[in-house]
Amino acid sequence: MGYWDGKRVLLTGGAGFLGSCVREELVKHGAKDKDIIIPRSGKTDLRMWEQCAKAVKDIDVVVHLAAKVGGIGLNREMPGTLFYDNLIMGIQLMEASRQARVRKFVALGTICAYPKFTPVPFKESELWNGYPEETNAPYGLAKKMLLVQSQAYRAQYGFDSIFLLPVNLYGPGDNFDPRSSHVIPALIRKFGEAMDRGEKEVVVWGTGNASREFLYVSDAAEGIVLAAERYDGPEPVNLGAGFEIKIKDLVELIGGMMGFKGRVVWDKSKPDGQPRRMLDVSQAERLFGFKARTSFESGLRKTIDWYLENKTKIA
């Protein structure tokens, strides 16, 4: 009998970019599609206690992916909203799950929870050794409180809640909205639109000196499902690919893959965000056998191809 046999799963954010991949991965691992419950934000507002309590009724496993999230621009524009919405959704959903005797709760944190100057590669033990990078601190700290809640509930109630820290995700179906997208889809769209308009230059935020790590979305989904099945510990666990690339090199790589022949202009009045990001991913492999499988260039090619095929449908 497999882990998911007979289990009803609440997958918040299940209709989104990561959630749709997690749903596929759950089915691949033996969950029945009819037993995967996906609350839609139009009908279920997880900021409301009564709706959280209703959502977890007769549920065995909660995988909480739902989040209000975006790039540096959105974090600067709406820090209060990002703090409140993410904090209240997570705290209420975990408490409702505890009260409903849910057997397993999988909480997703964010790499934004790490201190601004965390030594590279980021080890889980460094999580509390400083304040996060200022532009995304409200979002990062809101998600980090789910770790505190997880550990407190495990200590007091024996509640089986785990906390995962994924690095920046990318892949087909990503958010390409320039107001809220992360760096990879934002760059793909910038280059694509510049080429469509015959423009000879693209403006990019910052200096290009910051570095980032990226995890292909279907790899992330596999890591989440493996953790749900195999990990029951109190400590946070990183989910990543274990590499870093400078934004300058990323811009050059995406521009080259898309065939952009023009000039890149760096708007140095805009922030770089955290100086460096790369995770130590050894714990995920040791604790639940997860290792990213998709090479960065292969994942980028699939993401670019998806954008080019679907750009007329993207607002």
DSSP string for 223-245: HHHHHHHH---SS-EEE--S--E
On whether the CB atoms of residues 185 and 307 are closer than 8 A, the answer is yes
- Whether 302 is in a domain gets the answer no
Give the C-alpha separation, 285 to 274, whole Å: 26
Residue range 108-134: mean pLDDT, rounded: 95
Domain CATH code at residue 53: 3.40.50.720
Full domain range(s) for residue 155: 9-171+215-243+275-294
Is residue 184, in this structure, part of any structural domain at all?
no
Q: How many domains does the chain have?
A: 1
Residue type, 3: Y
Name the token pair of 174.
């990503």
Whether 139 sits among the annotated catalytic residues: the reply is yes
Residue 190 lies inside a defined structural domain of this protein:
no
SS3 206: coil
**304 is a domain residue:** no
pLDDT reading at 111 higher than 80:
yes
Residue in 3, 114, 139, 153 annotated catalytic: 139
Residue 49 lies in a domain: yes
pLDDT at 160 over 80: yes
Average pLDDT of the segment spanning 156-164: 98
Mean pLDDT of 99-108: 98
Measured torsion, CA atoms of residues 128, 110, 290, 243, in degrees rounded to the nearest 10: -90
Answer yes or no: is 229 within a domain: yes
Residue 90 lies in a domain: yes
- Is 301 inside any structural domain? no
